[in-house]
Structure 1
Amino acid sequence: MKAAILKAFGSPLAVETVPDPVPGTGEVVVDIVAAGVLSYTSEVFSGARKYLLELPVIPGVGGIGRVSSVGPDATKLAIGDWVFCDPTVRSRDGGLAPDITLQGWSARGPGGLKLQQHFRHGSFAQKIMVPTENAKPIGPITESEAAQWCALSTLLVPYGGFLAANLQAGETVLVSGATGKFGSCAVAIALAMGAAHVIAPGRNEAVRADLVRRFGERVRTVKLTGNEDDDRERMRQASPAPIDCVMDIMPPSVSTSVVRAALMTVRPYGRVVLMGGVGMLGGAGLELPYPWIMRNCITIHGVWMCPPDAPVKLVQLIRAGLLRLDQFAVTSFALDQVNEAVTHAAEHAGPFKMTVIRP
């Protein structure tokens, strides 16, 4: 098969012919039809993100394809089934705290690195081998629809956060980072899950207006000024009801004061979800007042990725028409154009835009 290989951080990907993967017990091979390219992919490949990723490796996080072979213990999957390749691989012997690796992307600590040595290669290839439980059925689609289904990789991140926070229909949500790629998906997810209103702060006026155009009056936007106290009050005033849940999904470059302003809009007994990158690349940590957390009974959830059943539940939202994949504009590249695709993804990183490789 053909695959794109990262041989050294800072070097272009090399497209070469490599052996096809062969599944054993607990493994499935999927023919990749479409694989999304995240906007910050170039930062991972340059080494700037400092991800734990042993080289050489076939990178790529998640993908859409059809099952081509299965191990002897598969009881549900069949050859030809359309699946989403869930990149969050968990150790099977971890009990309450399994080790985790994002296949083809990054590992979580020494245990994740050990797991990465086996489930190593990602989706920038014609075939990928994944754990049987990570081949998530999505139902029948056409090959032309596969690219838009790559949106699952982005949508699943905020969906996992809202599942952890037990978001309920009728609640009011604030998304800190709503004008970014993941944040705009968080707006769509919250509405699909039944949120009455979503408060969407941000500095980008065009994106704020686009969110209202896409989703209507249930979205209330707020222009951020950079003054923490003023912005917190503006967000509270924009909400027609007490804010039940705040999700932060800001990138590493954002000031902690911007994040804190949003988090502290939540009502007493409310929930806060932390999914962003504050402090990931160094710098100040997030400081929240202990008395405010304690006296207001605030619940804080740190969430990384999503639980194993989230992809199946998210597919149900899509199939029910509550979440529309046609919101996403797709630009596709052939596998031989993988380096051009990485550059394009960085330069076109706006909300509801996807760069996709079609191996």
Structure 2
Amino acid sequence: MKAAVLTAFGSPLVVDTVPDPVIGTGEAIVDVVAAPVLAYADEVFSGARRYLLPPPVIPGCGAIGRVRTVGPDATVLRAGDWVFCDPTVRARDDAVMPDIVLQGWSARGEGGQRLQDHHRHGAFAERVRVPTENAIRIGPIAEAQAGHWCALTTLLVPYGGLLAADLRAGETLLVSGATGHFGSAAVAVGLAMGAACIVAPGRNAAVLEDLVRRFGDRIRPVALTGDEATDRARMTAAAPGPIDCVLDILPPSVDARVVRAAVMTVRPGGRAVLMGGVGMLGGDDLALPYPWIMRNDVTVRGKWMYPPDAVGRLAALVRSGLLRLEEYAVTDFPLNAANEAVAHAAATGGPFRLTVLRPGSGRENGTG
């Protein structure tokens, strides 16, 4: 089969013929129809993000495809089923604290790296091998829709955070990082889950205006000034009442003070979930005041990715019409243009934009 291979950090992807994946018990082989190219893929492949993805490796984080072959222990999954290939692979030998790897993307800890030795190669290929439970049926779709369904890879991340926050219909949500790729997805998912109002802070006025245009007056935009006290006051004033929940999903480059300003808008008894990358590149700690957390009975928790059942639940929101994949503009590339796709994703990444590889396509770049 053909695949795009990362031979070394800092080197371009090499599209070449590689051995077909070999199925084992508890696994499935999926024909990749569309694979998302994340906006920061160039930072991963250059080594700037220091991800544990030892080359040579076929990268690619998630895919939409059709099942080619299933193992002998599959009881429901069938050849031909349309599936989302969930890149979040969990070890099966510890139900309480499983090691986790993002297939074709990264691993954490010694156990995660051992898991990565087997579930190593990702979706920048004509076929991918995944654990059976990671080939999750999404129901029949037209092949032309596969690129839009790649938005699940983005939408699932904030969905995991909002599930962890126990967001309830009718509540007011603040999305810290609302103008970013994952933050704008959090806005869409929060509304689909029934948030009555979403406070959307950011510095990009055009994106804030676009969020209001897309979703209406349930969005309360806030232009950030960079002054912590001023921004906290502005965010609090923008809400129609107490802010029940804060989701932070800001990238590593942002100062921790921006996060603190947002988190400390939450009401007494409220919840804050941290999903971003702030602090990963150094800088000051978040430094939330102990007395404020304790006296106000505030719950602060971290969340990485999403629970195993999230894919099916999110797909149900799409099928119901509550979450519109059509909000995303999709630009697709054939596999032999993988490097062009990575460059395009870096240059155009942002709210409601997707760059997608079509491994089975030999056509020129186009928009789906």
TM superposition score normalised by structure 2? 0.97
* C-alpha deviation, 1:242, in angstroms: 0.3
Q: For 1:116, give the aligned amino acid.
A: Q
Is the counterpart of residue 346 in structure 1 residue 346 in structure 2? Answer: yes
Which residue is 2:110 aligned to? 110
* C-alpha deviation, 1:132, in angstroms: 0.2
Distance 1:327 1:21 in 2: 34
Which residue is 2:364 aligned to? none
Distance 1:30 1:92 in 2: 21
Distance 2:230 2:283 in 1: 24
Q: How do 1:209-358 and structure 2 match up within 5 A? A: 209-358=209-358
Q: Deviations over 1:169-197 (max 9, x none)?
A: 00000000000000000000000000000
Structure 2: unaligned runs, 5 residues or longer: 360-368
The DSSP-based 3-state class of the residue aligned with 2:175 is strand
The DSSP-based 3-state class of the residue aligned with 2:53 is coil
Distance 1:283 1:44 in 2: 21
The DSSP-based 3-state class of the residue aligned with 1:147 is helix
Q: For 1:175, give the aligned amino acid.
A: V
* C-alpha deviation, 1:244, in angstroms: 0.3
Q: Deviations over 1:76-105 (max 9, x none)?
A: 000000000000000000231100000000
**RMSD, aligned CA:** 0.5
Q: Deviations over 1:13-62 (max 9, x none)?
A: 00010111121100000000000000000000011101111211000000
Which residue is 1:147 aligned to? 147
Q: For 2:154, give the aligned amino acid.
A: T
Distance 2:33 2:110 in 1: 32
Q: Deviations over 1:240-290 (max 9, x none)?
A: 010000000000000111111000000000000100001112222211000
Distance 1:135 1:67 in 2: 8
TM superposition score normalised by structure 1? 0.99
Which residue is 1:43 aligned to? 43
Distance 1:193 1:294 in 2: 29
Distance 1:123 1:324 in 2: 24
User: Does the CA-based 8 Å contact 2:255-2:283 persist in structure 1?
Assistant: no
User: Does the CA-based 8 Å contact 2:32-2:66 persist in structure 1?
Assistant: yes
Q: For 1:147, give the aligned amino acid.
A: G
Distance 1:104 1:110 in 2: 17
Distance 1:284 1:344 in 2: 33
Distance 1:96 1:284 in 2: 32
Which residue is 1:58 aligned to? 58
Distance 1:179 1:58 in 2: 31
Query: Which runs of at least 4 in structure 1 moved beyond 2 Å after TM superposition?
Result: none
Which residue is 1:71 aligned to? 71
The DSSP-based 3-state class of the residue aligned with 2:118 is coil
Identity among equivalent pairs (%): 69
Q: For 2:6, give the aligned amino acid.
A: L
Between 63-72 and 284-293, report the one with greater CA deviation: 284-293
Which residue is 2:363 aligned to? none
Q: Deviations over 1:102-135 (max 9, x none)?
A: 0000001110000000000000000000000000
Which residue is 1:34 aligned to? 34
Q: Deviations over 1:208-258 (max 9, x none)?
A: 000000000000000000000000000000000100000000000001111
The DSSP-based 3-state class of the residue aligned with 2:93 is coil
How many pairs are equivalent? Answer: 359
